[in-house]
Amino acid sequence: MTSTTHHETQIAADPDVPLVRITREFDAPPEKVYRAHVDPDLVAQWMGPRSTRMRIDQWDARTGGSYRYVASDENGEYGFHGCFHELRPNELIVQTFTFDGMPDGVALEKLVLEDIGNGRTRLTATSLVDSFEGRDGFVASGMDVGVNEGYEKLDDLLARG
Amino acid sequence: MAADPLSRVFSALADPTRRDIVARLAVGDATVNELAAPYDVTVQAVSKHLKVLEDAGLVSRSREAQRRPVHLEANVFDLMTKWIERYRRQAEERYRRLDDVLRDMPDAPTSPREGNPS
């Protein structure tokens, strides 16, 4: 709010591979940022989309473990699941991510934490999917209403040529 | 070539020369010759780049005018950046909640909850 240090999220959609990269800095050491990603009580406090409630059904944050959580709002429930592929405390989380509604689709997510000194951390999160269609759908998913309208609008614009 | 519209836009903008052309067209319409002038490439090569941008819907060329100036379809370009911006903002909201969680967190874990399904 009145904080002098402000670290807005940066995002890049890679043009060559279907990947989205997010970079963000935090005023907390890697140990805390890591813990906020693996402790289910903490995860439930921030990870779900705004205006949804988050219920964690399963959470085994170990290499080879898996997770499942359900976000719900007035329109219904949305389940997500995946596996923890590699966890290295305070440094790295590699996991898969699947929306229950699209069980064949999977994103490979890699989270890297970097100690940038003064008790601060730089987080770099990449999501890799198996097609550009999937990536662009991924960018569009979870957004507020109007996204599909946006797509239709673009289709129209492009169709008009 | 990628089939869906947004992917075509992304791949059209993957090339630095094409991004530069788009940046210059954002200032105003220009002919192929004008666009080719600052580059160490042939007009034909620039025409090829324009064809890719045209196929992606990012630029159009007037059929009537003799000079056939190239025009940036700014609304297509805006729409793409708008989507990415919304996605970014959503991530930023999430991370502001994480900021709050981190601020309230004790320095050491209160209980070894990791790997312990609730």
For the cut 60, the answer to whether the pLDDT of residue A81 exceeds it is yes
Assess if residue A1 is contained within a domain.
Answer: no
A101-147, pLDDT tens digit by residue? 878 888 899 999 999 999 999 999 998 887 776 666 666 554 333 33
B86-113, pLDDT tens digit by residue? 778 888 888 999 999 999 998 876 555 5
Contact list, B89 vs chain A (CB under 8 Å)? 9
Which of A4, A35, A87 is best to mutate for the B interface (most B CBs within 10 A)? A35
The pLDDT score that the predictor gives to residue A6 is: 55
CATH number of B5-73: 1.10.10.10
Q: How far apart are CA A76 and CA B30, in angstroms?
A: 51
Provide the residue ranges of all domains of chain B, joining segments of one domain with +: 5-73
Closest chain A residue to the Cα of B97, Cα to Cα: A46
Assess if residue A57 is contained within a domain.
Answer: yes
| φ/ψ (deg, to 5) at A138 | -65, -45
Q: Give this prediction's pTM.
A: 0.65
The pLDDT score that the predictor gives to residue B1 is: 46
Query: How many domains does chain A divide into?
Result: 1
Task: For residue A120, list its beta bridge partners.
Answer: A117
Q: To which H or E segment does residue A122 belong?
A: strand A120-128
A 9-28 residues inside an 8 A Cβ radius of B:
9-11, 13, 15-16, 20, 22, 24, 26-28
A 68-97 residues inside an 8 A Cβ radius of B:
none
Residue ranges in chain A assigned as alpha helix (H) = 30-38, 40-46, 132-140, 147-160
Range of the domain at A113: 10-160
Percent of chain A with pLDDT over 70: 75
Question: Which domain CATH number covers A34?
Answer: 3.30.530.20
B20-61, pLDDT tens digit by residue? 888 888 888 999 999 998 878 888 999 999 999 999 888 998
Closest chain A residue to the Cα of B72, Cα to Cα: A161
The ipTM assigned to this model is 0.72
Assess if residue A3 is contained within a domain.
Answer: no
